Each structure stands twice: as structure tokens, then as C-alpha cells.
Chain A
Amino acid sequence: MSISTRARIPSQPGARRLAALRRNAIGYLFLLPALLAFATFSWYPIVRGFIISFQKYDLVKGAEWVGWSNFEFVLNDPLVPVAWRNTLQFTLLGLLVGYLLPVILAILVNEMKRGKSYFRLAYYLPVILPPMVSVLLWKWFYDMDTGLFNAILQAIGLPAQRWLFDRNLVMLCLVVLSTWANAGGTMLLYLAALQGVPSHLYEAAEIDGAGLWRRLWHITLPQIRGVMLILLVLQIIGTMQLFTEPFVMTDGGPANATLSVVMLLYRYGFRFYNFGAAAALGLILFFVLVAFSILYLWLTRRISQSQ
């Protein structure tokens, strides 16, 4: 018996190590499908994006190192500044038209004693539609001859517009569509945030004699400020990747007035098969958007700490 005890003592750490090994192995077995999927379709492509940016990539002949020439090509393309200007214009117009609208809607809907669920459903309806449907639908609304908007303008005696064919109007057309298609989803998030504002804050402010506007400014808005900041950054990141709307509605026209960065990237890659230049432009976009993403991470962390 003493022998067996002595024999077991040194083997115990080994057994424990074996059990730990087994536990880790089982853990990684369950992780394996996800690890494979991420490695193949996320991590590897992200790393490869850096590599291809410095290559001339041909689907048949394969890759060849070309140094910085893809970046030189991109920076010398006169369409690149045009695409960035359009994209930034879309982003800024989108913020101007669509950023505060869901906040205001949510605050007002939240005050309603009846019909709340009707408002939620009605404002959310465009978000349920597939983006392709919304874009094609609005393309028809903007149609100069058969569209709804010119019909309305004519009905109230105003001159018909050229909408998507008007250089000065076309970007606004895209922004209005995009706001229409997305505002309801954002509004739901604000509604949820508003419902988390504790009642006692309002009651205390009231006892202190704070009127409606002061309560709005000093309680409601500070309480949803976190969500507002996060959604600001998300909207910027989302709108900077503008593609489907101009791709389907205008194909970048008229005269490149709606050519976006991602559209140009798409053209480099899939019209001219210049994958190197497309990857280089993607990398530039990556750095610009990662700056915003880091801002987003930093904001979420700060906000979760302050709560």
C-alpha cells in the first residue's frame, strides 16, 4: 500500500496536466470551425490586403511584387480625389439630414401616451425592406417622367426637377433615400435608451423648478449622450462605405458626381481587374475608417466606464 501511494504521488501532476490538456483540446475542438472560418475569410484576407497592395495581381499569372506603384497609381488617378470628395460630401450631408432626425423622433414618440407601437412599426417599415428594393423603388420615384416626386411637384404647380440627372441635386437624392431607409432603425435604439432614463431624475428636476426645455437639455440628452456618440461614429463608418445606392441608381453619374470610394474600388477590381490598385485603395480606406473605429472603441469603453 505504501508503495502504491508513493507511486501515485509523482504521477499526480502528470495526470493533472493530462486532464488540462484534454480540457483544452475539447475547448479548441469546439472552436475549430470558427477558427477555420475566421482564418480563411477574415484574418487571412485582412493580412493579404496589405500584401496585394504591393503586388500586381493577375488571376491567371499570379502575383508579382511592384513596390509602391499601386499607391502611385491610386494617388495619380484624378478620380480618387473626386471619389473622396463625393464620399465625404455624402457623409456630411447624411449627418446634416439624418443624424438628429431619429433623436427628435424618438424623444417625441416616447412622450406619446397612445400609438407608440404604431409609430415604432410605421417608422421602422423602410428598414425592413431589402436595401435593393428601397434603392430601386426610389429610383422610380426620382424618375423624371414617371416618378412620384415630379408628379407631386406638378400637382402643386412647381416645375419638375431632373433629380438624379442634376449634378447639384443627385447627392441630396441619395442622402434622402438613405435617411428614409435607415432612420427608423436608429430611432428604435434611441427609444430603448430613452426608456432607460430613470423617472426620479425628471421628478427631482421638476421639484427644483426645471421647465421642459431645461429637463430636456440637462437630463434627457445627457442620459442618451452615450448612444448618440456611438451612433454618430457608426453612421460615419457606414456612410463612408457608400456603394449600393450610387451603384444601382446612378452608376456614379452624372459626370462622376456620385462616384464613391468603394465604387471606385469596385471599378478598379472588377471592371479593370487591377486588383493591386483596388487593394491599395482599400488599404487607404481601411486606415481612415480604423481611425474612426478606434474612436468608437474608445467611446464605448469610456461610456461603459461612466455608467
Chain B
Amino acid sequence: MARSLSVNLARLRGRPSGPAQFDANERTLVSPLELRAPGKRLMYWLVFGALVLLTVTTLFPVYWMYSGALKDTSELIRMPPTLTPTEPRWGNYLKAWDNLNYTRYFANTLILAFGALAIQLVVSTSAAFSLSKLKPAGSKVVLFLFLSTLMVPSMAYLIPAYLTVVSLPILNIPLIDTWWGVWLPGAASAFNIFVLKSFFDEIPQDLIDAAHIDGAGAARILAQIMIPLSRPVLAVVSIFTLIGAWKDFFWPFLVLSQVELQPIMVALWRLSARMQEPLNLIIAGLAIASTPPIILFLIFQKQIIRGITLTGLKG
């Protein structure tokens, strides 16, 4: 796994990397020659058509959400349903934003996401730097202890993790209903440390040694050599952290019981379970909550797809 990862890291950095790159002319299972035979050609187009048809199953539900939000309640529950809104009510989105109190929940989600990002970047980057370049005595053991947490399913220690946040050990500070209760547990991300360390490992030690001889301290090496050279991987880690924080439900749901502190996913769950809001506004709320990750994805599509192939776990 480590080796395939390093190859992928090279790709992430934009180096040419041979057969692994997306290439339209690259040879696959079916040869170009075979495709010229009429039977095979027909087969090809049948498969193509089937694949296009199958995308309806992923696109249509999303269309149904965005268009359902434009209908009024009576049209929304009509059977059979209308394929397109007879009279699109764009105002539903604004109404949903107001009625569902989205300004508050959006702000909360942004605070949670960017706070998580800042803390995770600082913690993971400095740890990965130390493990990759400073290598203090025992750092291999530390790395192992970090990575071993990836092997422990988070649900298995849900209760003790929650009780830790209820009252921090030694300090006895309660973190329930504070941003820190979500931010700090997220800082322990073995995944980020692993990805960053793998990338840092590829930065030549000579560069570090040269800077060291020139009198640069560890902090300066990190700030002026490692971070500028690692922008692509930092971008991937940042996008994953932001999208991950945006989607997160269960932990914020446990930790933030006060309505005024809740992020959008927790609010959506509560609002839909209460069943007081009209259905079309809830649907509009779902559509609004999906829009930021979709936009982020469309903008950073290339980096995200590379990042997913690189890490294999997130998305």
C-alpha cells in the first residue's frame, strides 16, 4: 500500500506518472481493432446507452429534490406527481431559508468547518513534519500509535469519547455545547497525518539539511520549505476536511444539544423529525444544504478525484 501511495503522490503533485494517468488513447480491456467489428461496435453502443440510462438513477433524485422544492405543497403531494413544477416558486428557497432559520445554522456550520480546518491543519502539519523530517527518538512508535487508531472503529468507543467531552480528564472542563467539543476531537486525525507525512517524505532531506546549515530553525523550515512545497496536498486535505465537517451529523448531534449552536445537518434532522414545517420547505432546505458541497466539488473536481484515488478512504 505504501508503494502505490507514493506513486499516487507523484501524480498528485502533477508529475507525469506513466500508465496511471487518465488517458483517452490508453489501451484497455477491449482493443481498438476489436471495436471495428460491427457486432462489437453495436455492443459498445448498447453498453454506452445503458450507462447513460443508469446515470438517470443518480441524477434524477437530485433533480427531484431541486425541482420539488419549487412546487407548492398541494402540487408536491399530488398523485401522479408533475415532472416539472407547473409554476416554479423560486420564493420557496428564500422562505425555507427564513423559516428554517438557516442564517444561524449556516453560520454555525461554517464556524465548525473552518475551525476544524484551522485546528487540523496546524496539528496535522506540525506532527507530520516532525514524524517525517525531525524524527525524534521514538517517532516510529508514535506514528504507529497514531495509525492504530484508524483500526479502531469509532462507534466502538463512542461512549467513552462522549464522556471525555462531558468532562475533560484532569482539567474537568465540560466541552458539551461548545465549539471545542467538536473541534478538538477532530484534531486527532491519523488520516491527515498519514497523508501529509507520506507527502513530506518525498521532499528531499538535502533541502532540509541545506537550510539547517544555513541556520534555519525547524519552524522556519516548516514555514518556508515544507508548506510552500506541499500546497497541492494541503489543498486536498483542506477540501476533505471542509466537506467532511459540512456533512458531519452524529458527533455534533451528540455534543451540541443547544439549538442555537447546531450545524445544518443536525438542524435538518430535528426540523424534519418535528414535522411542523411544510414538506416543500424541508425539501428546499435539503437542496440548500447540498449546494455548498456540490459547488466545492465542481470547482475542485480534479483535486478531489485525485485525492480520492490517492487516499482511497474518504469522499
Do A and B belong to a common assembly? yes
Q: State the A residues within 8 Å of B (CB).
A: 20, 23-28, 30-31, 33-35, 37-38, 40-46, 48-49, 52, 57, 59, 105, 107-113, 115-116, 118-133, 136-141, 145-146, 148, 150-151, 154-155, 180, 184-185, 188-189, 191-192, 194-199, 202-203, 206, 212, 215-216, 219-220, 227, 230, 234, 237, 240-241, 243-244, 248, 262, 265-266, 269-270, 275, 278-279, 282-283, 285-286, 289-290, 293-294, 296-297, 300-301, 303-304, 307
**B-side interface residues, number (CB < 8 Å):** 110
B-side binding surface: helix, strand, loop or mixed?
Answer: helix
Whether B48 and A115, one on each chain, are in contact in the complex, defined by CB atoms closer than 8 angstroms, is: yes
Whether B155 and A189, one on each chain, are in contact in the complex, defined by CB atoms closer than 8 angstroms, is: no
Taking the closest CB of chain B, its distance from the CB of A55, in whole angstroms, is 11
Whether B129 and A151, one on each chain, are in contact in the complex, defined by CB atoms closer than 8 angstroms, is: no
Q: Does B30 contact A (CB under 8 A)?
A: yes
Whether B58 and A189, one on each chain, are in contact in the complex, defined by CB atoms closer than 8 angstroms, is: no
Whether B249 and A38, one on each chain, are in contact in the complex, defined by CB atoms closer than 8 angstroms, is: no
Residue of B34, B164, B294 with most chain A CB atoms under a 10 A cut-off: B164
Q: Does B88 contact A (CB under 8 A)?
A: no
Task: Give per-residue flags for B74-87: 1 if the beta carbon is below 8 A from chain A beta carbons, else 0.
Answer: 00110111000000
Q: Does B279 contact A (CB under 8 A)?
A: yes
Q: State the B residues within 8 Å of A (CB).
A: 1-4, 8, 19-24, 26-31, 34, 44, 47-48, 50-52, 54-55, 57-59, 61-62, 64-65, 68, 76-77, 79-81, 122-124, 126-127, 129-131, 134-137, 139, 142, 145-146, 149, 151-166, 168-169, 184-185, 187-188, 190, 193, 217-218, 222, 243, 246-247, 249-250, 254, 265, 268-269, 272-273, 279, 282-283, 286, 289-290, 293-294, 297, 301, 305, 308-309, 312-313, 315
Whether B55 and A119, one on each chain, are in contact in the complex, defined by CB atoms closer than 8 angstroms, is: yes
| Interfacial chain B residues near A49, Cβ < 8 Å | 156-157, 159-160
Whether B268 and A136, one on each chain, are in contact in the complex, defined by CB atoms closer than 8 angstroms, is: yes
Assess A154 versus B28: contact at CB under 8 Å? Given A123-B55, A195-B21.
no
Assess A30 versus B158: contact at CB under 8 Å? Given A38-B149, A151-B79, A275-B163.
no
Would you list 18 pairs from A and B whose C-beta atoms are within 8 A, ordered by A residue?
A23-B136, A34-B193, A42-B149, A44-B160, A45-B161, A49-B159, A52-B160, A128-B297, A137-B65, A141-B64, A154-B79, A197-B28, A237-B153, A262-B158, A266-B158, A278-B158, A279-B160, A300-B1
